[in-house]
Amino acid sequence: MEAPPESPSLPPVDPAAGVPPRGEARSGAGEPLPDSLAARVENAVSIALLVGMAVLPLLEIVGRRVWRTGIPGSNALVQHATLWLGCLGGAIAARDGQLLSIGRLADRFPEPYRRILSAFTAAVSTAISLLLAWSGFQLVRAEWADRHYVVPILPLWVAEAVIPAGFLLIAWRLVRSSSRDGWTRAAVAAAAVAGVAFVGSGVILGTVPFAAALVTLLLAVILGAPLFAALGGLAVLLFRHADVPLASISAEIYRIVTSPTLPTIPLFGFAGYVLTVGNVSRRLVRFFRAFVGWMPGGIAVVTVLVCTFFTTFTGASGVTIVALGGILLPALLVERYPERFSLGLLTSSGSLGLLFPPCLPVILYGVVAGIAVDKMFLGGLLPGILLTAIMSAWAAWGGVRAGARRTPFSVGELGAAAREAKWDLLLPVIVLVGIFGGIATTVEAAAMTVLYAVCVEAFVHRDTGLRKLLREAGTETSRLVGGFLLLLAAATGLTGYMVDAGVPQAIFEWVRQTIDSRFTFLLVLNVFLLVVGAFMHIFSAIVIVVPIIAPLAAAFDVHPVHLGIIFLANLELGFLMPPVGMNLFMSAYRFGKPFGEVCRSIVPFLLILLAGVLVITYVPALTTALLPK
């Protein structure tokens, strides 16, 4: 990421201020190879994929009007491009040492223990990557039998082949980065193959070998194995122990990563990086300072409101951090908000707004629970305002406490700032007109955002050339999306196991038998949903959990809309739950912060929001007041 030139009207501001070099979030010890041919090809392909993902939906919008049916199969292509970008990006993240891990305990040991422990960690991670590649290979083989096509020239098995290919590439890179010494690398590879043979054999069906494998995995994770290996490894071991084919993991990864709304993540992320590479942050910071900089905590409140607004129409919480984080973090830092406070504020604000229209999870909830969508939105209005209001209040108070700077109000400066930032400020209007004007789906609106952002940066402000813009933004996006989708894929495998084993049903069977008061039921529901929200993709959580809890809640006399709002509010919070909340991953990636630091930074915000969710849970009137009788 490049620092934009400084404006004379502002104190020095560097969007990368406080962002450590890329190495800190990494887990491998190997050197990145920025100039190798393979690396350049990988980067170019990922950028081409991103540009294609943005162009196809745009052609679709035009095509629908001009030749009525748009581009045949364009949805399917864009959804599969997400899968390819995810697999390629995962390999790129591995190449650049950007695989997220919980911590690196191994580094605290003296040599030679450190080297041995690192090799052990690498061997375990490599074994898991190989097992996941094997799972992908089995899926491809099964698909090959059916000879389906994504679009007439693209067989489905070819599209799926990126899953095993991506995991193989990751395995190769884990071995490569495990050590500089060839013999150690060979030992890591041999140990990984032995691990695969052990897990692949029938031995794992026994309790003792299974437990031993679990302990090995846990040890590797504590010592610093990447998080995707922790989640994916757990899925692999559980599926193997239950004697369910490993291809189940890849089948579920394929299903989730090609789901219709997921392309919004790379697209909005791309748009966000394009704006960041350009100078939008400087222009917006100037505007917001002129606008609300005179208020105590003004910029912090703006941060909350902008994030809420953005999440509301993207419907996906992590997207907000990707798209806006790079703009808002420097805006906060330049006003002398403490770094940890700013990090926590952005990470937690990234999940606000899930209760307002036209947010997709609300619509999906209404659909699954059989509740009219407008009722869901009416019910969510006051609870949504409550959560946003307490966050704003806390943000303002944080600003006051930290003695953040205030700027005297000036009409002239506001006008000048608004003129300079007018194209950037129009961005949300484009998206809203696209969606509410019936022109575009969410994915298409995301593609429109990319186009608009590129046009504004490359042709209106002309701070950065088009090539450089696409190259820098594209590489950053694919690295981020790859790392994120790799985690989503691994978590998906684990979710798949829980569904397969009937875990949610078992929990609720237990609840049905042990809990008899409504008060306790709601409390248990809160805890359960927080865990669900941390582990599951929000759409999967709705589809899987709602049908199980809805009848239970009815038995405890909970209003169906109230249940829906409790559900969504908890899931919103689940995004922030250490150690697996998706927003934490997103934030660590976007800001290049150690995972532990992100977790610590959100604690006060998490507690505030938790209080809000409890109010929503135990004051049903907040939800039901606006509903028609």
Partner 1 sequence: QTVVKMATLAPEGSSWYRVLQEMGEEWRKASGGAVVLRIYPGGVAGDEDAMIRKMRVGQIQAAAITGIGLAYLDRSFYALHIPMMYASDEEFDYVRDRYAPVLEKHMAEKGFVVLNWGDAGWVHFFSKMPVVTPAEAKALKLFMWSGDTTLVQLYKETGFHPVPLSTADLLPSLQTGMVNGFSSTPLASLAFQWFGLAPNMADLRYAPLTGATVIEKKAWEKIPAELRPKLLEASRAAGKKLRVEIRRLNQEALAVMVKNGLKVHDVPPEVQAQWRKMVEDIHPRVRGNIMPAEAFDAVKGYRDEYRAAQSTRKDEAR
Distance CA 342, CA 226 (A): 26
The entry of Na ion, partner 1, none that residue 261 binds, CB within 5 to 8 Å by partner kind: partner 1
Task: Tell the smallest beta-carbon distance from residue 431 to partner 1 (Å).
Answer: 12
CB–CB of 60/71 below 8 Å?
Answer: yes
Task: Tell the smallest beta-carbon distance from residue 439 to partner 1 (Å).
Answer: 7
Task: Tell the smallest beta-carbon distance from residue 95 to partner 1 (Å).
Answer: 30
φ/ψ of 490, rounded to 5, equals: -65, -45
The entry of Na ion, partner 1, none that residue 394 binds, CB within 5 to 8 Å by partner kind: none
φ/ψ of 601, rounded to 5, equals: -65, -25
The entry of Na ion, partner 1, none that residue 501 binds, CB within 5 to 8 Å by partner kind: none
Distance CA 354, CA 380 (A): 9
φ/ψ of 404, rounded to 5, equals: -60, 150
Kindly report the CA angle at 474 between 469 and 478, in degrees rounded to 5?
A: 165
The entry of Na ion, partner 1, none that residue 358 binds, CB within 5 to 8 Å by partner kind: partner 1
The entry of partner 1, Na ion, none that residue 101 binds, CB within 5 to 8 Å by partner kind: none
The entry of partner 1, Na ion, none that residue 106 binds, CB within 5 to 8 Å by partner kind: none
CB–CB of 104/168 below 8 Å?
Answer: no
CB–CB of 262/80 below 8 Å?
Answer: no
Piece in contact with Na ion (CB under 5 A), picked from 97-105, 121-129, 531-539, 611-619: 531-539
Is 184 a residue that touches Na ion (CB under 5 A)? no
Task: Tell the smallest beta-carbon distance from residue 108 to partner 1 (Å).
Answer: 41
Q: Interface with partner 1 by CB under 8 A: which residues?
A: 64, 68-70, 72-76, 138-139, 142-143, 145-146, 148, 151-152, 244-245, 247-248, 250-252, 254-255, 259-261, 358, 360, 363-364, 366-368, 370-373, 435-442, 499-500, 502, 543-544, 547-548, 551
- Which listed residue (337, 539, 591, 595) binds Na ion by CB under 5 A? 539
Task: Tell the smallest beta-carbon distance from residue 550 to Na ion (Å).
Answer: 19
CB–CB of 173/95 below 8 Å?
Answer: yes
CB–CB of 133/161 below 8 Å?
Answer: no
**Pick 429 or 460: Cβ nearer partner 1:** 429
Kindly state the DSSP code that residue 536 receives in the 8-state scheme: S
CB–CB of 367/565 below 8 Å?
Answer: no
Number of residues that bind Na ion (CB under 5 A): 4
**Pick 78 or 127: Cβ nearer partner 1:** 78
Name, in order, each residue with C-beta under 8 angstroms of 156's C-beta and a sequence gap of 6 or more. Answer: 143, 146, 148, 149, 150
Distance CA 160, CA 441 (A): 25
Task: Tell the smallest beta-carbon distance from residue 125 to partner 1 (Å).
Answer: 24
**Pick 27 or 75: Cβ nearer partner 1:** 75
Task: Tell the smallest beta-carbon distance from residue 12 to partner 1 (Å).
Answer: 44
The entry of Na ion, partner 1, none that residue 461 binds, CB within 5 to 8 Å by partner kind: none
Task: Tell the smallest beta-carbon distance from residue 572 to partner 1 (Å).
Answer: 20
Task: Tell the smallest beta-carbon distance from residue 488 to partner 1 (Å).
Answer: 15
The pair of structure tokens assigned to 531 is 């865990």
CB–CB of 353/323 below 8 Å?
Answer: no
φ/ψ of 149, rounded to 5, equals: -125, 140
The entry of Na ion, partner 1, none that residue 596 binds, CB within 5 to 8 Å by partner kind: none
The entry of partner 1, Na ion, none that residue 543 binds, CB within 5 to 8 Å by partner kind: partner 1
Residue whose C-alpha is closest to residue 230's, from 254, 214, 212 = 214
φ/ψ of 485, rounded to 5, equals: -65, -30
Distance CA 19, CA 339 (A): 10
What x-and-dash track marks residues 247-286 binding Na ion by CB under 5 A?
A: -----------xx---------------------------
Applying CB under 5 A, which residues contact Na ion? 258-259, 539-540
